[in-house]
Chains A and B, each alone.
Chain A
Amino acid sequence: MTWSRGNMADGEEPEKKRRRVEELAEKMAVDSGHGGNARDWDGRWNHVQKFLERPGPFTHPDFEPSTESLHFLLETCKILVIGAGGLGCELLKNLALTGFRQIHVIDMDTIDVSNLNRQFLFRSKDVGRPKADVAADFINRRIPGCNVVPYFKKIQDFDESFYRQFHIIVCGLDSIIARRWMNGMLMSLLIYEDGVLDPSSIIPLIDGGTEGFKGNARVILPGMTACIDCTLELYPPQINFPMCTIASMPRLPEHCIEYVRVLQWPKEKPFGDVPLDGDNPEHIKWVFQKSQERASEFNITGVTYRLTQGVVKRIIPAVASTNAVIAAACATEVFKIASSAYVPLNNYLVFNDVDGLYTYTFEAERKENCTACSQVPQDLKFAPSATLQDILEYLTENASLQMKSPAITATIDGKNRTLYLQTVASIEERTRPNLCKTLKELGLTDGQELAVADVTTPQTMLFKLHFTS
């Protein structure tokens, strides 16, 4: 029996191979179509159309089969994808293949070698280039008609007018702070008239997250369903090792590495006055060696180069398949919402394939006094003899708030005063003495409003101060 054994591994250089692949793709696209228009050849959207144009027993109650829906999907619907990493690459591909053409993508990162095991829109020649740009380029070249617009920027670089233009926003982020910020941004777009929410001001947010073999996908309708902050307790705060363990009582190899990262590096400044860069192999090598030394002092085994890098960069293990699964679930929801073809996920899906395959779907509940979406002013209850430091600790440690570096301002004697701000060194220095002062000393009164700004929210949060006896 004969069979063609094409082994692609030998011979061709990557660039030549890639060009051949692109030619092949183009050839296929052109050959199949009718005449010159490769954009929408006959039957291209057959499968999508079955869902948009046929009635069915499980469709959304408001669904009406129509040939217009396909047009909306293809030409009008504007989607924003946040993140062009593991989830982002999959999302862009899924959305483009489903028919969405107006897709924008934001990502502030550049491509690293360790991305290549799953972020399949990138190749080794792309290392160092912005993820958003390369991803957009790849999709636009391979999928005729698709128009992905990239932004090599942070989400905080854009304001309400930017975000308002999108029909649906999908997140493939790796940071809770960024999620909360996005969440807050969409809340700020909501329009209430006489206390009633205007549905046209709602932009659905579909959020996906993965970690190793676990993942989750959720649908957030700002102002209507549970938001990121409503379920903040589902994301437990990152565990940092206690200082005394790091400084004087290490037991695990991780403790030794943290010691070098947090204490030894700033002290010894081995490469000058530069921050430790987890992507710099020289830096990691130094940390690794010093960690080994510290570990041997305490008879601790297990410090490896891989562990060192993992601890320094807070690496989360990742594989292609989990990202594929979660991105698919998210894209399904985008399709459902954009087409009204089915009732969207209500509202949280958990996935785990460590042991068999496990999914769990439930409705996360809104929190009555959610800091982001409840519009209920938050209370701060402190004694007048409490210090500003006490308030600061509350804002950062409280499970529902989990702020990172809150800046606190208040109107005192008619003037707007910054009580404490961490993010600008000169102001931090100036306001630091306020931390030890009592609220009374600072001139704060019962019922006073405090405005708090933080990276976790695009809008300033208002708190009402209540004095306890």
Chain B
Amino acid sequence: MAQSAAGKSNKEQKYDRQLRLWGDHGQEALENAHVCLINATATGTEILKNLVLPGIGAFTIVDGHKVTGEDNRAQAATELLQELNSDVSGNFVEESPDKLLDNDPEFFHRFSLVIGVQLIESTCLRLAGVLWNAGVPFLVCKTYGLVGYMRLAVKEHTVVESHPDNALEDLRLDQPFAELKNHIQSYDLDNMDKKDHSHTPWIIVVAKYLEKWYNEHNYQLPKNYKEKEAFRQLIREGILKNENGVAEDEENFEEAIKNVNTALNPTKIPSTVQDILNAEGWKNITAQTPAFWVMARAVKEFVENEGEGKLPVRGTIPDMIADSEKFINLQNVYREKAMQDASVVSKHVESLLQSVGKVCVYKSKKKCKNAAFLRVVRCRSLADECSVELVNKDEITSCMDNPDSEMVLYLMLRSVDRFFQQHSRYPGVYNYQVEEDIGKLKLCVNSLLQEYGLNVNVKDDYIHEFCRYGASELHTVASFLGGQLLDVEFLLNKYGFVMPKTNLFIPFCLNNQKFLFALGCAAQEAIKMITHQFVPFNNTFIYNAMSQTSATFQL
């Protein structure tokens, strides 16, 4: 989407507010993506709405359930969603996921992401296995009464731009590169007129006083609170005084003092990046190595050689009190160094690719600028999570030290799945079932805990509450997990529960607030997966609408 001075394309106008979050390149990734939704329940379509509105390239709904005699649920949902955004292409498959897995498991290989909503456990695990092996990320969503659940399964997801909220600046004051050193030298604070003195960038001020400090402290950085305080005092004494000996108003010096704490942080590579640079899996570059890892390797070579143990310079500085010229000159010193470092890294990339017979076609500049913000997320497979040998016992038992931790909701969700397995229905759907089902559900809870050797206590209150839910979907929970307007809401056929005498959908407007909360989250996680920007959760998210609390577990 080219940006013209005079006018913007209609698409650019429409997407303006989100382009400011993930940029044109993020939007491009979205528009090249094809997402699969399994089960066009109100909740599933809520997620899709939040992907269709921002312009996902294409979606395909897989759903074997019937709506009316003629229209299938998948088709109906597709039409309704399609209407939301004409830029998006919608498809549907009138088939249950189990059937597809039986006849054409490779069907799923074409998708950027598969989202499974309200799947029964057996189907979910089957699908998870296929997708794991095919390297297709799988996002599982479920809402049950007032509880929302999301699970992300992906072997390895790379994030180029994590956009951290509070990243520290990359100023290199502890180890100034040559050009920065020279630039600092060009200032003589003691012999400046007042105007220049008051408009010298604080970075220079700190650097100059650091030199003074080094002379008196054996070239050691101020380390603890006491030393930093003394250093701040040193700077404070440098504030110009008027004829009466009263300190002038020098905001730049105040800024310097305020920033001492963070400005003197030793330049080092964040541990998350260290892990990436030292990742075992990609030590040897081949023709198939993904771009992210070729870049990581190139950065590593930079760090070990030209970088002298440091990452490429980021090249940005925060705004600060200074006159335009001084600020721009200082900014350019950092910028030019960053460009220099980036081109060195590019050369490493080129030679790495050459060594495996490939030509460099992608831009590395963005990755260089963000070298400190590279992240990799690895989510365990569902198979591992559910395996008796590999279950994350520690996480579960330690969370359950607090019996009201969201972890109990996870255990309850697993238990109702077990109930479904045994009884082909969920507990408490009808009023008359509630009381009897409490006992039955409790048996399921106990068998689950026993099977996995989990020595935890699940309070009876939760067992009662889950029977009370009767597998309902409150619209708001659905929206939190996802978000949309459909004319009609679909009953939960996937629970294996079919209205007597009709196997038709029953439209109703639902109380899926919790679901909605959870589905809003799902859409955003899906966008993160597709754009490779921002960090997705790892790997289980539980939302409790009763208390409006949530938790993320790595299971």
Contacts and interface: CB of A to CB of B under 8 A. Distances in A.
Interface stretch (A147-155, A265-273, A325-333): A325-333
B471 to A, nearest CB: 9
B297 to A, nearest CB: 25
Contacts of A121: 485
Interface string B442-457: 0000000000000000
Interface stretch (A2-10, A183-191, A394-402): A2-10
B475 A97 contact: yes
Given A29-B487, A335-B511, A94 B475 contact: yes
A325 B472 contact: no
B49 interface: yes
A29 B476 contact: no
A249 B328 contact: no
A354 interface: yes
B499 A43 contact: yes
Interface in B500-533: 504-517, 519-521, 523-525, 527
A4 B94 contact: yes
Contact of B14 (A48, A116, A146): A116
A289 interface: yes
B231 interface: no
B546 A342 contact: yes
B394 interface: no
Interface residues of B, number: 129
A415 interface: no
B516 A54 contact: no
B222 interface: no
B108 interface: no
A329 B50 CA distance: 16
B476 A335 contact: yes
Contact of A114 (B16, B82, B89, B478): B16
A93 B486 CA distance: 9
A97 B509 contact: yes
B491 A3 contact: no
B410 interface: no
B49 A320 contact: yes
A322 interface: yes
A58 B465 contact: yes
B508 A43 contact: yes
A431 interface: no
A249 B7 contact: no
A420 interface: no
B517 A8 contact: no
Most chain B beta-carbon contacts within 10 A, residue among A46, A142, A213, A250? A46
A196 to B, nearest CB: 30
A425 interface: no
B71 A46 contact: no
Contacts of A29: 487-488, 507
A99 interface: yes
Contacts of B14: 113-114, 116-117
A9 B476 contact: no
A47 B511 contact: yes
A118 B53 contact: yes
Contacts of A250: 324
Interface string A324-365: 111111011101000000110100010011111101010000
B53 A117 contact: yes
A318 B16 CA distance: 9
Contacts of B514: 328, 332
Nearest to A99: B509
Contacts of B94: 3-4
Given A249-B322, A328-B483, A332-B545, A306 B19 contact: yes
Interface in B478-504: 478-480, 482-485, 487-489, 491, 499, 504
Contacts of B536: 356
Nearest to A310: B20
Contacts of A304: 3
Given A299-B328, A321-B527, A332-B517, A142 B464 contact: no
Interface in B152-190: 162-165
29 contacts: A9-B90, A25-B488, A31-B68, A32-B504, A41-B506, A43-B491, A43-B508, A44-B509, A47-B510, A48-B474, A50-B472, A53-B431, A57-B464, A98-B509, A98-B511, A114-B16, A116-B53, A117-B17, A143-B487, A249-B323, A251-B328, A285-B5, A305-B5, A305-B8, A309-B16, A315-B17, A317-B21, A324-B482, A325-B480
Given A41-B507, A94-B476, 5 more contacts: A146-B509, A281-B6, A326-B520, A349-B548, A357-B525
Closest 10 A-B residue pairs measured CB to CB? A324-B483, A324-B520, A25-B487, A325-B520, A328-B479, A328-B516, A8-B82, A57-B461, A9-B89, A47-B472
